[in-house]
Amino acid sequence: GAVVSQHPSWVICKSGTSVKIECRSLDFQATTMFWYRQFPKQSLMLMATSNEGSKATYEQGVEKDKFLINHASLTLSTLTVTSAHPEDSSFYICSAQSTGPTGELFFGEGSRLTVL
Amino acid sequence: KQEVTQIPAALSVPEGENLVLNCSFTDSAIYNLQWFRQDPGKGLTSLLLIQSSQREQTSGRLNASLDKSSGRSTLYIAASQPGDSATYLCGYDKLIFGTGTRLQVFP
């Protein structure tokens, strides 16, 4: 299947700093990528839909100024957690949608963020 | 509110058993449904995708069925192995996911 690379896989930062997470589709182009947040033993919560060349669409309750999303190319989307606080600590996962007829989703390996 | 429910929440079985994992959803107008596997601390690996026009898909020891009218999908795992131990999630149309079934297969 298609490969989606997410980096970094884990990051520890101090409260108040900003952290950038990258999501790359390695062997296909993805006009649409998705960012999720997952708490322990819970399902994925969609945060936003990232469309190449346009502004991201955020889900209700997700602060767009807090979670900045940029999708500057067909293979890269970034999520920046600005002024991170301990409550932002979580597992963040991205997915990229295949442009084929099925629209299958392929997921990155996730990024574990810990804010001290 | 669109919801996905997965039953059972957890399952522990001896190696070799055939398993059925259940996924029910409230939105009958889905485009496609996917089954995923998630290992601890990892992302999701796509196992099977069923389009709304299809009834089932098979890959190796895995078979997934879809009944849109009743809002149900099942994942059948034949001859389970310890390496199948993981959390299995279903999700549809990229947006809605269940909380998963945590499967443990012991030797």
Establish if A104 touches chain B: CB-CB under 8 angstroms. yes
Contact B89 A44 (CB under 8 A): yes
Task: Identify which of B103, B105, B59 has the alpha carbon closest to the alpha carbon of residue B80.
Answer: B105
Q: How far, CA to CA in Å, does A29 sit from each of A19, A96, A99, A100, B87?
A: 25, 9, 7, 10, 28
Q: Which residues of A touch B36 (CB under 8 A)?
A: 107
Helices (H) and strands (E) in chain A, counts: 0, 11
Asked if B34's CB is within 8 angstroms of A104's CB, the reply is yes
pLDDT by residue (tens digit) across B43-63? 889 999 998 889 999 999 999
Task: Report d(CA B6, CA B26) in Å as an integer.
Answer: 12
SS3 A70: strand
- On chain B, the residues whose CB falls within 8 A of the CB of A22 are none
Could you tell me the end-to-end alpha-carbon distance of chain B, in angstroms, rounded to an integer?
41
Q: Which two tokens stand for residue B49?
A: 């995708």
pLDDT tens column, A60-112: 999 999 999 998 888 999 999 999 999 999 999 999 988 877 778 889 999 99
Nearest CA in chain A to B87: A41
Q: Is B55 on the interface with A (CB under 8 A)?
A: no
Q: What would the two tokens of residue A114 be?
A: 């810990």
pLDDT in tens, A5-40: 999 999 999 999 999 999 999 988 888 999 999 988
DSSP label at residue A40: T
Give the dihedral of Cα atoms A26, A32, A35, A36; nearest 10 deg.
Answer: -100
Split at pLDDT 50, 70, 90, the class of B82 is: very high
Does B106 contact A at CB distance below 8 Å?
no
- Kindly list the residues from chain A whose CB atom is less than 8 angstroms away from the CB atom of residue B100: 43
